[in-house]
Amino acid sequence: MDAGTSHRPQPIADDGDDFNFCSTCAFSAACLKHGYDKGQLRELHVLVEHTEPYHEGEYIFREGDRFEAIAAVRSGTVKTFVNDIEGREQVQGFFLPGEVIGLSGISEARYPSNAIALESVVLCRFSFSSMAMLATRMPGLQQQLFRLLSQDINKAALLAGNYSADERMAAFLVSLSRRYAARGFSPNRFRLTMTRTDIANYLRLAAESVSRGLRRLQDDGLIRVDRRDIELVDRPALESLARTILRD
């Protein structure tokens, strides 16, 4: 485990069983809303495989690997990235508990990026072919898959525009906050599990600019930073800074 993250509990989903999803599950809301019965839920659940923990720095899949499964993060944070033509890493995204990785592999039948565990990570893996088959009989599941796919595309586009460092930083924090909140975790206090370099790379900023931006937000009373722990003190101000990027 990385120095500095060795203690304080991280968000982790509770275990599901045959009929109850893990509380963070990306599919639970959609399926419950459609009122599937126990039999149908069991059909979905048997597709799920809870993986052994991946250790910090371990690859979950590599660019070019054959696409077989998508996976929901149960605990920990996953980073996806590609290496550009000069071998420089380009971070594509961070995936928190309840979020789904591997969706970008659907179109080419190969993963177009690498996925790496930033800390100890446990996944719920779904065989994609079985799931696709099941989705033909469960419209709710199909809709949820489409929704996840479109979110994935939008997320990548978010930070491509011409935004200031402060706007990017604020959008990043607000986005994390919303995502934690959506899974029932605290929206105002969370830990940045990714390194400063990874954040900088993702936001297309220099590492020093990330720190400077955060320091400015802290000096202005919008956030408090204690090592890797972040506290959002003035959410409305942050939201308004992030508005141009996040829109809703």
Tell me which residues touch another protein (CB under 8 A): 2-8, 192, 195-197, 199, 207-208, 210-211, 214-215, 218, 225-228, 230
What minimum distance in Å lies between the beta carbon of 30 and another protein?
A: 32
71 vs 192 by CB, closer to another protein? 192
What minimum distance in Å lies between the beta carbon of 145 and another protein?
A: 34
6 vs 162 by CB, closer to another protein? 6
225 vs 233 by CB, closer to another protein? 225
144 vs 201 by CB, closer to another protein? 201
Strand 100-101 relative to strand 69-75, pairing: antiparallel
Q: How far apart are CA 22 and CA 16, in angstroms?
A: 4
User: Which amino acid would we find at residue 238?
Assistant: L
Strand-pairing partners, residue 82, are 90
* Secondary structure of residue 174 in the 3-state scheme: helix
What minimum distance in Å lies between the beta carbon of 229 and another protein?
A: 9
What minimum distance in Å lies between the beta carbon of 197 and another protein?
A: 7
Q: How far apart are CA 196 and CA 241, in angstroms?
A: 21
Beta strand ranges found along 42-113 (DSSP E)? 48-50, 59-61, 69-75, 78-83, 89-95, 100-101
